[in-house]
Amino acid sequence: MNLNEDFGIRTSPCPVLLDHYIWATYKSTTEDPDTLIVYGGWNKDTLAKTRNIPCVRYDFKKSMAGFIKADGGGEEGPALFGFTMRYVKPGQMKELGTSFQTVCNLWYEKVPGILMAAVFPDEKTPNLVHDLRLFANHSAFLAHVDKSDKDLTEAMGEWFENYDTSIPFSGQLYAASTKDDALHTSSIKSNSTPRAQLETFHFGESGMLGQVPNMTRNDS
C-alpha cells in the first residue's frame, strides 16, 4: 500500500482517540492541554469530534512517503516500534521523500516482517521529519539492511544522504529488549553518524498498561 498522499490506517475514527472517559483520567486541562500527534487515518468526522475535546490539542500529520501492510507478515512477535525525529538537509525534503519511497518499495517486496514505514514532515519545524517504523519482531528489524542486496544498499545510501547527520536522531523505541546496539546506531553510516538519542520502553515492564499486540491476528 503506497502512502504518498495519506497514511491511512483506518477509514473510521479510532474510538480510543475520541473516548471522553479515557481522557478524563489524564491530568491535561483546557488551560494546559496535552498534545496528541495523529499520523493519518482520520476523516472529517474525526476532525469535527476532536474539537469537542478541549483538554487535548490534536496535531494531524500526513505522510510524504511510506507503506503499511494489512497483516503481520506471518511472523510472530513481539513487535518492535520506532518513532524518531530526523533533520533533513535544507532544500532536500522532496528528494528525501522520493528516495525513501524507493527504499520502502523494496522493503515491502523483500522483507515480510517490516509491517510499516513512513515519514511525515513537521509543518512547524523546518527540515524536520517524523520517521515511524513497525517491525513484526527483532529479526525483521535486522533484515531491513542487507549488504548482499545491491539494489537495497544503493537505495538506502541515496536516501540517507538527504539527512543532516550533524544533528542526532531522537525519539522513542518500544520493544521486548533494546540491548542490541544496532537499534541505537546508524545501519548505513555508523562511523560518521551520531548515536541516536532514544528513550526506550520495554513490553511487560512495571507501569506498562495494556497488552502486547498480536501482529498476526489478521493473517490469512
List pLDDT tens digits, range 104-147. Answer: 999 999 999 999 999 999 999 999 999 999 999 999 999 999 99
Residue-range definition of the domain harbouring residue 47: 1-62
136 and 81 within one domain:
yes
- Average pLDDT across the chain, whole number: 84
195 and 123 within one domain:
yes
56 and 67 within one domain:
no
Stated as kind and residue range, the H or E segment containing 150 is helix 150-160
215 and 125 within one domain:
yes
CATH label of the domain that carries residue 146: 3.30.70.100
At residue 24, the 3 state secondary structure works out as coil
List the grid coordinates of 197: 538519542
Band the pLDDT of 24: cuts 50, 70, 90.
confident
82 and 33 within one domain:
no
28 and 72 within one domain:
no
The residue that leads in pLDDT, 192 or 133, is: 133
Q: What is the mean pLDDT of residues 77-105?
A: 96
109 and 150 within one domain:
yes
Total domains in the chain come to 2
Answer whether 178's CB lies under 8 Å from 156's CB: no
pLDDT at 194: 73
Show which of 19, 37, 62 is a domain's final residue: 62
Q: Where are the beta strands (DSSP E) in 52-145?
A: 56-61, 65-68, 80-87, 114-121, 128-135
Q: What is the mean pLDDT of residues 35-51?
A: 83
List pLDDT tens digits, range 67-86. Answer: 999 888 888 889 999 999 99
105 and 6 within one domain:
no
* Half-sphere exposure of residue 14: CA atoms within 13 angstroms, side-chain side: 11
Show which of 36, 62, 88 is a domain's final residue: 62
162 and 110 within one domain:
yes
pLDDT at 4: 36
78 and 33 within one domain:
no
21 and 111 within one domain:
no
How far is it, in rounded angstroms, from Cα 203 to Cα 78? 8
176 and 115 within one domain:
yes
Q: What is the mean pLDDT of residues 140-157?
A: 95
pTM over 0.75: yes
Show which of 17, 39, 62 is a domain's final residue: 62
